[in-house]
A = this chain, B = another copy of it.
Amino acid sequence: MPDAANSPGARPTLRDVAQRAGVSAMTVTRVLREDSRVSAATRERVLASVAELGYRPNTVARSLRLGRGSGLVGLVVTNLANPFYSRLALGVDSVVGPHGLKTVIGNTRQSVEHERDLVADLVGRRVDGIVVVPAGGDQRHLAQAAAQGVPVVCASRPPVGFPADHVLVDDHGGARDATERLLALGHRRIGFLGPPASVHTSVERLRGYRETLAAAGVAADERYVRQGPVDVAAAEAAAGELLALAEPPTALFCSNNRNTIGAFRAVSRAGLTTALAGFDDFELADMLGLPLSVQSYDSDELGSEAGRLLLDRLRGGARDAPPRRVVLPTRAIQYGTPRPLA
């Protein structure tokens, strides 16, 4: 009887295997851990017993006994449906997975409150570490987790009020480059479209945009700045407003791909040739029929870097190293042929 399910739901234990093989539980452990020297004969018997019972060691009990963590890494993001975050998740998982760690997802739906509950839950589950894209400014719960000995790595946004490893994108540099490209084409009336100021990346990208304009001697015009849209529809509306101004911008810098796509829709619908520069690459960007430059980077790299930082704390010697910061560069991609301003 290969897999006699004696009582459904009652999974066999180490003891069951031992008893069936006529040895002690300890011996079974040894065989399973390929530990010390066990006689070939015994090993055979034990393995047979394991197979017959369909025994699978209980990792939970094991990790409890060993005093280690649960072999889980918590991943906390605002919206996993966003490919940006799912790639990030994959990046984390691809790095920690080979080390026997599984990734637990936590979706906060932009709510700091959810984030706090999630982190508390993850800490309770004794995750070995947490990778988080903080949803808001209040990060006390993260500080607390870190203080309780759970390594925290922030991705995309820096930790606030406590030390932690973090991985950022070169938001400022990317925004500078994007803006410079528009300036180089002769544009002076350049609009800005991006998420609200509560989003760290948006702040940095806006700063890069402003500083670049200032450095080029272009007067800032706050009418051209729309910090707010988080989805395509809102971005399209906001872009439409800018384009409808008496003296509309001749170019738009869009600080993420939601805004770029929204802007594209608005420009396209209005039948204009407003130049576009954006942050984040996206599929079909090359087929839009408008020249477009984007600042691109792989979000899975954000994840894999975060995973590496975490592993260093867990396995490497970086257990008590001072907090580290990794900044990923962006690279410019030009779609279509840029048109100099007439």
**Interface check A261, CB cutoff 8 A:** yes
Q: Which chain B positions have C-beta within 8 A of A58?
A: 64, 124, 126
Stretch at the interface among A103-111, A220-228, A242-250, A325-333: A103-111
Closest to A7 in B: B149
Stretch at the interface among A37-45, A84-92, A169-177, A184-192: A84-92
**Interface check A283, CB cutoff 8 A:** yes
Q: Which chain B positions have C-beta within 8 A of A80?
A: 86, 89-90, 93
Beta-carbon contact of B56 and A148 below 8 Å: yes
**Interface check A15, CB cutoff 8 A:** no
Beta-carbon contact of A125 and B60 below 8 Å: yes
Using known A-B contacts A56-B120, A126-B59, determine if residue A5 contacts B147 with beta carbons closer than 8 Å: yes
Q: A61-97: which have CB < 8 Å to B?
A: 61, 63-64, 70-72, 79-81, 83, 85-87, 89-90, 93-94, 97
Quick one: which of B93, B104, B283 contacts A102, CB cutoff 8 A? B104
**Interface check A288, CB cutoff 8 A:** yes
Interface-central residue, A61, A89, A148, by most chain B CB under 10 Å: A148
**Interface check A54, CB cutoff 8 A:** yes
Oligomer copy total: 2
Beta-carbon contact of B289 and A261 below 8 Å: no
Beta-carbon contact of B147 and A54 below 8 Å: yes
CB distance from A131 to the nearest CB of B (A): 13
Quick one: which of B56, B59, B97, B144 contacts A54, CB cutoff 8 A? B144
**Interface check A317, CB cutoff 8 A:** no
Quick one: which of B71, B72, B287 contacts A288, CB cutoff 8 A? B287
Cβ proximity bits A245-265 to B, threshold 8 Å, 1 near / 0 not: 000000000000000010011
**Interface check A284, CB cutoff 8 A:** yes
Beta-carbon contact of B105 and A59 below 8 Å: no
Taken together as a complex, chains A and B put the C-alpha atoms of A182 and B144 apart, in Å, by 60
Taken together as a complex, chains A and B put the C-alpha atoms of A287 and B81 apart, in Å, by 22
Taken together as a complex, chains A and B put the C-alpha atoms of A102 and B107 apart, in Å, by 10
Beta-carbon contact of B283 and A261 below 8 Å: yes
CB distance from A36 to the nearest CB of B (A): 22
Taken together as a complex, chains A and B put the C-alpha atoms of A282 and B64 apart, in Å, by 45
**Interface check A324, CB cutoff 8 A:** no
**Interface check A271, CB cutoff 8 A:** no
Q: Which 10 A-B pairs have the closest CB atoms?
A: A86-B86, A9-B149, A59-B124, A59-B125, A284-B284, A80-B90, A56-B124, A81-B87, A81-B90, A102-B104
Give me the interface of A with B, judged by CB distance under 8 Å: 3, 5, 8-11, 54, 56-61, 63-64, 70-72, 79-81, 83, 85-87, 89-90, 93-94, 97, 102-107, 120-126, 144, 147-149, 261, 264-265, 268, 282-284, 287-289, 300
Extra contacts, 20 of them, besides A3-B144, A56-B120 (Cβ < 8 A), are A5-B147, A5-B148, A8-B149, A11-B148, A57-B124, A59-B125, A60-B64, A61-B64, A72-B104, A80-B90, A81-B83, A81-B87, A90-B107, A93-B107, A102-B105, A102-B125, A103-B104, A105-B105, A261-B283, A289-B289
**22 A–B contacts from the bound complex (CB under 8 Å):** A5-B147, A54-B144, A56-B124, A57-B124, A59-B121, A59-B126, A60-B64, A61-B64, A79-B90, A81-B83, A81-B86, A86-B86, A90-B107, A93-B105, A93-B107, A102-B106, A102-B122, A102-B125, A261-B284, A264-B287, A284-B284, A289-B289
